[in-house]
Chain A
Amino acid sequence: GAGVSQTPSNKVTEKGKYVELRCDPISGHTALYWYRQSLGQGPEFLIYFQGTGAADDSGLPNDRFFAVRPEGSVSTLKIQRTERGDSAVYLCASSSWGNEQFFGPGTRLTVL
């Protein structure tokens, strides 16, 4: 079956612009997670959804970051007024109840 997909695979933007990153989880997975991976580091948790609601957004670095999952499936991570420090690979993962997470290929965001 299809795995987790993320679009775009690469995004280059200018400082101060707004970006949206999309994640399509595995069908039927109720939990969806966003992580951010900087070069040479392990992924860092940002937010996760259980169904449509954000169950834990404690990892979002500041209020420029926001994520939604309006119908309990696809999720969008939104970043306002991007900064060079936001450059990283943004990873999405999904899981069924109580089970391991499966990751997508990531979106590489570069802020110039």
Chain B
Amino acid sequence: AQKVTQAQTEISVVEKEDVTLDCVYETRDTTYYLFWYKQPPSGELVFLIRRNSFDEQNEISGRYSWNFQKSTSSFNFTITASQVVDSAVYFCALSDLIQGAQKLVFGQGTRLTINP
């Protein structure tokens, strides 16, 4: 069975600090996808990134970066120079791909608070 673990329940930092959100996953599939979603106080899940299991290149998008390491089954997310608007709950998720669809298995989420 697939499983995603986000061990950090809550993180609180001061604005402009860097912060890393951890994600560890379990799957028996050789082909799978990893995701990060952001859930701001408004409640709507916002897609941030998708990576497939064959692509271990790290990715950077502005202040966001992702570190995918198959050897440790981890897909960590770093926010550089955090801002108050980054405050949200962040979810890591895992899926396979069957018939063009992806059934997401989510972690418990990490509540990130950026204090001014």
Contact = CB atoms under 8 A, between A and B. Distances in A.
Interface string B91-115: 1010001111111111111000000
A42 interface: yes
Contact of B44 (A31, A45, A98, A104): A104
B101 A42 contact: no
Given A31-B101, A106-B43, A100 B108 contact: no
Given A35-B104, A50-B100, A98-B100, A105 B47 contact: no
Interface in A66-112: 89, 91, 93, 95, 97-98, 100-106
28 contacts: A30-B100, A33-B101, A35-B104, A40-B108, A41-B108, A42-B4, A42-B93, A42-B106, A42-B107, A43-B45, A44-B106, A45-B103, A48-B103, A50-B100, A56-B103, A93-B45, A95-B101, A95-B102, A97-B100, A98-B97, A102-B47, A103-B45, A103-B46, A103-B47, A104-B44, A105-B43, A105-B44, A106-B43
A61 to B, nearest CB: 16
Interface range for A: 20 to 34
Nearest to A59: B103
A42 B108 contact: yes
A64 to B, nearest CB: 21
Interface of B: 4, 35, 37, 42-47, 50, 91, 93, 97-109
B104 to A, nearest CB: 6
